[in-house]
Structure 1
């Protein structure tokens, strides 16, 4: 054995037999082991399991023929004795020999004492890693010390792990899903993710009913904010004065709770028709008259929402327009067929019409008056809407209730025999208008501080209750497979292309003209 503590290849068996033979031989003539200058102190610094002799003058000499204990010699199996292992030196203050490497048979057993300082990771540690033995340090420490090449391939990069933990990017305003030329836009793809827990809410309604304002309040804004900062732009005062429309096409917005909101241009809009007539805008070749083109645009958007949305909100600002219900039934008739659902998902979707998909319909009575909140008038409204939608397959009842919101505390669930998905929202009041209803000219300061009687809860309170009920609706399966957000985007793009090329819509357009 050399002074560095490494055994030479092939010398394992010969070294041990030679030392045992020397132990049995008597001392040679003329050899004085205890003479002056030759006193040897048996000192064991134990460098890598070897024993060394040290003379009285401090100089180290090779180990002599007399050994009191058999040394522990560690070596590789014969098949791996190509070159010696270079390991880092260990402190010489230890009293016992240290096992630096283990054979393959003992690879799964703990071999290093807990109180022994481990050597720094070097070529020896990398060799152990390559031999398949479990490292003596945690894997993440080895990676941090530059041993990523020898670490397990299944470990995750910390940068990638931190990226996955980041919250999704928050949208500041809505973007176009379908532009004013009725072309599909791909800009919404960067905000979508590969996860299936999502809710899609769309809205349709006549011009000036407050669709964009309602969608902004349901998605990201509050009534106290400035309407110019809403995610869906509402009508400005200038547009209201000239009778124009603010929204065009379909606008897209997704919240951090993964709720997708789709705001559409007004259906059967007179301002869009006026723009087509006065600006001499060229119509597509399949349409002959401007009013036919406007009606077909509205039917295309309604049929599209009936196919790709979980909830469709129908906004109206007065009760009620018979033509609106006729339009909804026409869009339901022209809706593209849904891919057949599997047997497992058919029961969970709650559809009683086989594999055809139909969304939840919520009728929102916006800008409601005080008389509309009268229980007697409320009951008449529910009965009228139930008769108008009696032959529809749309889910217009059973999923939303104003009685559950404690808006009418004196009414029970049995008061409304046929309760449809109807919700009332009053006029969005301003601070100045609300102050005028607090008291008359001769009212005392005490009564002037109290809010005036409205006959219904405040707009903010009702908007919050509406939002909680809409977001709590069941999320039925839209197609035969469970869609992620990105899959829904591609599915919606195919549905929109199919709606524009639908033979049923083309035939209906020919009948109108």
Structure 2
């Protein structure tokens, strides 16, 4: 027939529309069509759902909806030239470079299920990935059904670098060091804890136990190096200047050299070290070094721990009052170089001060003696602006069961730590899950174990309020620059220079 003879070539001369329609409803196979172009367009049809395959050759089409389930996915095909261009989809659809497939709505893009993916892999076909998996490859784990970072292009913050040991903030020559800057971050939730004390009271050991170590560890692995046996035998000091350590919880610990140290004085005299020109006598220089360090801690720390190993030295409290008097004024918002007077408590900053009685004996844990110690500290610090009471309590730690808060009339920030045990009795007490046998009971000590008391002391120190150090909220890096400026001001302080002149 003439019409059928003209209709078939006309059907193949048109665009893809009739060929797509022929694919959806296949008729009898056109076996009378020949030619190289027609043979190239026909490929065997593959059924993904496992049904019976048709006998005639079908067109292979390429899908463009990347996340369509396999049950609703159309048969692949190769687009012919001259196909009409489709407008790009808006959401979750990405067209292939070869061209688009008409007939599918752009707003339908369900995700590929796990069963469909496994079925495609069994049939030797690679499942199509969602668009976000292709575009955000390398930004994180975006597996099938996995959560995606809501902020595109935002990289996750790396964990802060963990310090293995302390570093110098101020060296033995009283010069500022910048090596601590690389461990600091631009965040404001930080706590600064400093320590002062006489020589041999255990400052470095206590700071190591508060920051990163436990009593069971070897003291040679502490972050703040403690005195070695050789140094103890020659009555020397281990720490010099100010050591810096910051924990993963963003708590900055500052360990200092001993105040009024006789070993530092002996080192100055026997090694014939030249003194700065403003100091005439070695003992004056040692005392001024101690006052500079203490005044610096009173300005840049939230908490200052005063450690003593016997109760009590009157000269220590006189030294604290002198350092408070010579403390640089807190910079005000309008004048950074000058601050208000020390009598103006509203603008002047004073830290929390905690008295730690280290190496305490058993009789010092007696409630009667504890009450006398609190009364003595309160009398000695009565005229001080330092926050020496109301922020730490041993009675809240259940160390003295049966004692209420009314027992201590004036409770100051005083905590007692016994001598650190090195034998196995303390380990036996900590490890006991049930009541031990009477033959294995340790001797009466009159106080909890050292590890238990250190843990309670650490909890109370870390729970202290973090007052604002200056007129602006400081980040860790801003605190470092602020502390460097305060240290430079302390060394050049006219009040300290005048006090040094009066001593000599």
Deviation per residue, 1:274-316 (Å, 9 max, x gap): 1111111100000000000000000000000001110000000
Please state whether the residue corresponding to 2:292 is helix, strand or coil. helix
Is residue 182–residue 249 contact of structure 1 (8 Å, CA) maintained in 2? yes
Deviation at 1:141, TM superposition (A): 2.0
In the aligned structure 1, how far is the partner of 2:98 from the partner of 2:317? 80
What does residue 75 of structure 1 align with? none
* Residue 468 to residue 124, structure 1, CA distance change in 2 (3 Å): farther
- Indicate conservation of the 8 Å contact 2:357/2:415, yes or no: yes
Q: Which residue of 1 aligns with 2:465?
A: 474
CA distance in 2, matches of 1:496, 1:469: 28
Q: What SS class does the counterpart of residue 40 from structure 1 fall into?
A: helix
Q: Which residue of 1 aligns with 2:32?
A: 57
| Cα 1:269/1:111, change in 2 over 3 Å | closer
C-alpha distance in 2, partners of 1:202/1:355?
Answer: 22
> Deviations 1:134-191 (Å, cap 9, x if unpaired)?
9986345234399xxxxxxx8316xxx24x1x32111111111111000111111111
Q: Which residue of 2 aligns with 1:458?
A: 449
Question: Distance in 1 between the 2:193 and 2:232 partners?
Answer: 26
Matches within 5 A, 1:224-243: 224-243=216-235
* Contact map agreement 1:314 1:362 (CA 8 A) in 2: yes
Q: Give the alignment partner of residue 313 of structure 2, picking from 306, 316, 321.
A: 321
Report if aligned partners of 2:187, 2:475 keep a CA contact under 8 Å in 1: yes
Stretches of structure 2 lacking an aligned partner (at least 5 in a row): 23-28, 38-60, 65-75, 101-105, 110-129, 140-150, 335-342, 430-435
Render the CA deviation track for 1:32-70: whole Å, top value 9, x for unaligned: 314xx55638868995546699986214899xxxxxxxx
2:415·2:457 contact (CA, 8 Å) conserved in 1? yes
Structure 2 residue aligned with 1:155: 152
1:369 matches 2:361: yes
Secondary structure in 2 matching 1:253: strand
Work out the CA distance in 2 between the residues paired with 1:203 and 1:298.
12
Please say if residues 39 and 55 of structure 1, whose CA atoms lie closer than 8 Å, have aligned partners that are also in contact.
Answer: no
Judged with a 3 Å threshold, the aligned counterparts in structure 2 of structure 1 residues 32 and 257 are, in CA distance, closer, same or farther, namely same
SS at match of 2:2: coil
2: CA distance between counterparts of 1:398 and 1:45? 95
Task: Give the counterpart of 1:138 among 126, 131, 141.
Answer: 131
* Contact residue 185 and residue 475 of structure 2 kept, 8 A: yes
Aligned Cα RMSD in Å?
A: 3.6
The residue that corresponds to 1:10 in the other structure is: none
C-alpha distance in 1 between matches for 2:169 and 2:229: 26
- Give the Cα separation in 2 of the matches to 1:265 and 1:413: 36
Kindly tell me: are residues 268 and 61 of structure 1, through their superposed partners in 2, closer, same or farther at Cα, counting changes over 3 Å? Answer: closer
The answer to whether the aligner puts 1:101 opposite 2:86 as a matched pair is yes
Per the alignment, residue 18 of structure 1 pairs with none
* 1:356 to partner: Cα distance: 0.7
Q: Residue deviations 1:400-436, cap 9 Å, x none?
A: 000000001110011111100000000111116879x
1:438-462 deviation per Cα after TM superposition (whole angstroms, max 9, x unaligned): xxxxxxx954410110011111110
Q: TM-score, normalised by structure 2?
A: 0.74
| CA separation of 1:364 and 1:155: change in aligned 2, threshold 3 A | same
1:487 aligns with 2:478: yes
Question: 1:461 and 1:47, CA in 2 relative to 1: closer, same or farther beyond 3 A?
Answer: farther
Q: What SS does structure 1 have at the residue aligned with 2:3?
A: coil
d(CA) in 2 for partners of 1:145, 1:431: 54
CA contact (8 A) 1:172 1:231 kept: yes
Higher CA-based Rg: 1
1:40 pairs with 2:32: no
Contact 1:47–1:92 (CA<8 Å) still a contact in 2? no
Matched residue count: 410
Secondary structure class of the residue paired with 1:313: strand
